[in-house]
Amino acid sequence: MRMPPKVKPLATSTLLSLRALLESEVDQLLKWGETADAPSLTESVDVAAEIERRQQKLANLAEAEAVLQARAEERYELEKAEYETKLAERAAQQHQTGRKPRGRTPKPPL
């Protein structure tokens, strides 16, 4: 069984900061597009194309965030099943021997 790759916590924080940056850029471009006082800007930059490009990036980021969330949920379910199995094994061992099992009790998944 192939395990999903581990996702670094940095990936989510980077995703959130990128999304905030792109949203601010889109807002700024919309403001620039509304102003008719900047003909030199509209000549050098195609505002509509830049807005479309950044909105596409935002859509891609939302899709990536959904994938990360799905992977995290899947990983949590796997870890939860392993945790419950370990607890059941410890309880069976304690019932069989009448003693508390050695070692630390397993920690629940985060």
Burial of 10 (0-12, 13-18, 19+ CB in 10 A): exposed
What are the tokens at 8?
A: 């670094």
Domain count, the chain: 1
Q: Provide the pLDDT for residue 34.
A: 72
Long-range contacts of residues 20-27, Cβ cutoff 8 Å, at least 24 apart: 22/54, 22/57, 22/58, 22/61, 23/58, 25/54, 26/51, 26/54, 26/55, 26/58
Tens of pLDDT, residue by residue over 4-17, are 565 555 567 777 78
pLDDT tens-place string over residues 29-74: 778 777 755 555 556 667 778 888 888 888 888 888 888 889 999 9
Q: With a cut of 90, say whether residue 88 has pLDDT above it.
A: yes
Query: Residue 18: what pLDDT?
Result: 80
Q: Is residue 107 part of a domain?
A: no
* Residue 104 placed within a domain: no
Asked if residue 1 is part of any domain, the answer here is no
4 located within any domain: no
Answer yes or no: is 103 within a domain.
no
Q: Give the residue with greater pLDDT, 28 vs 36.
A: 28
Task: Determine the structural domain holding residue 19 and report its residue range.
Answer: 9-97
